[in-house]
Amino acid sequence: MEKTVSIIGGGLAGCECALFLADHGVKVKLYEIKPIKYTPAHHSESLAELVCSNSLKSNDIYGNACGLLKEEMRILGSSLIKIADQTKVPAGNALAVNREEFSTRVTNLVKSNTNIEVIAKEVTSLDDFDGHLVVATGPLTTDDLAKSIFAVTGQKMFFFDAAAPIISADSIDMESAFVGDRWDKGNGDHINCPMNKEEYEKFLTELLSANRAEQKDFENSSVFEGCMPVEVMASRGVDTLRFGPLKPAGLTDPKTGRWPYACLQLRREDKDGQMYNLVGFQTNLLWGEQKRVFGLIPALKNAEYYRYGVMHKNSYIRSPGILSADFSLIKNDKIFFAGQITGVEGYVESMASGLLVAINILLHFANKPSLELDNTTVLGALSNYIATPSPDFQPMNANFGILKNIEMVKKDKALKKRLQAERSLEVVKEIKKYLDETI
């Protein structure tokens, strides 16, 4: 019996998935809306279009989680990372590519593969498909298809991503911070970052003059009124932040015995306490500006960012409770989701999800269970992140904070990352051996 898979979406996740399946003998029908219709973010007819940036982030395997993720994917046979390596341009330690050449090569590789049929069509309903299906429609899924996804998942899609930054716990200057919950109500899950009047006023001045990310025409800032960017809030009055996310009430600094003039709270983001969220600091500042301006808060002067704040249009499902860690629907394990629609953030992360989906579909065809990856690899950490219940699920990119911790007798962040990376690569090499024997 012929093995066939339908894939909706010819972006990074869809193309990675299609190529891996096709190279393993599966017949793929790849449905792509272009050139019949374009989403507001797309301009080229090519598949796997890179829209926002020509950088696929760092290539540093031992110091950057995205660099490690790319190496994991190389070991497993990613087609798109191979093409990225072939089309790279000088960019220091980053993997930057010639965007047009990258997309052209991916398009040619997909269309020349005899196991892949590219169908230019707008898909409006998941009900039109039988058998294995992969939904990889990206952050701007069309309205009709979004309604169909809602019918299948029982959940409306989130259309705007407004996420505060997440930083490494190890990088917080605890000499300038203190642990405690407002009015002492809680279990010590917050770290408080106090500011005096002078520090607050300097922070406010730099925040108001900082450079912001350019919004696309389809991103109307009015939709963020219920989740206002911190810089917009600051523009509404000199004390607005002191009655909002920098409210000091109920936070007694043990060093002074008083409430600070202003105080940012950091909330624990994971059970191991490796990551902390800047509460109420959703922002549209450029990433470099976030590091510079937020670094004026004394406790954050050396902060290491696992995820910068973002505010942009981004259709995704609240995956925990909807998807399994193999990216399949809990209610129907023949329907998979891949890419940014699942809640992974970033180009490489989207490719990675497409690769994992392809691997798990091949394991299905071989009557083998899906890969059970733990958080020792970036691939596993991302797949578990989208499946783990969370009260405030937000898209996540690759970072060391979601990897399984390694306890260190002596604090050494560089050595810790290297040990995590070495552990990860050993695990992925064993996975590769298993897959070679199985699929």
Residue 59: per-residue pLDDT: 92
What does the alpha-carbon distance between residue 329 and residue 251 come to, in Å, rounded to a whole number?
43
Confirm whether 4-157+317-438 and 166-310 share one CATH topology.
Answer: no
Q: Picking from 45-49, 71-75, 420-424, 428-432, which range would have the lowest pLDDT averaged per residue? A: 45-49
CATH classification code of 4-157+317-438 = 3.50.50.60
**Nearest to 162, CA basis, from 32, 303, 283, 6:** 283
Phi, psi of 5 (to 5 degrees): -140, 135
Checking if the pLDDT of 160 tops 70, the result is: no
pLDDT-derived band at 313 (thresholds 50, 70, 90) equals: low
**Contact status, residue 432 vs residue 373, Cβ threshold 8 Å:** no
Q: Picking from 27-36, 87-96, 252-261, 343-352, which range would have the lowest pLDDT averaged per residue? A: 87-96
Residue 300 or residue 218, greater confidence:
300
What would the pLDDT profile of 240-265 be if each residue is shown by its tens digit?
A: 999 999 999 999 999 999 999 999 99
Checking if the pLDDT of 162 tops 70, the result is: no
Which whole number is the average pLDDT over 307-333? Answer: 89
Which whole number is the average pLDDT over 263-285? Answer: 89
Contacts of 412 (CB under 8 A, 6+ apart): none
Checking if the pLDDT of 48 tops 70, the result is: yes
Q: Give the architecture-level CATH label for domain 166-310.
A: Beta Barrel (2.40)
pLDDT-derived band at 18 (thresholds 50, 70, 90) equals: very high
Mean pLDDT of the chain: 90
Which whole number is the average pLDDT over 275-302? Answer: 94
- List the chain domain ranges: 4-157+317-438, 166-310
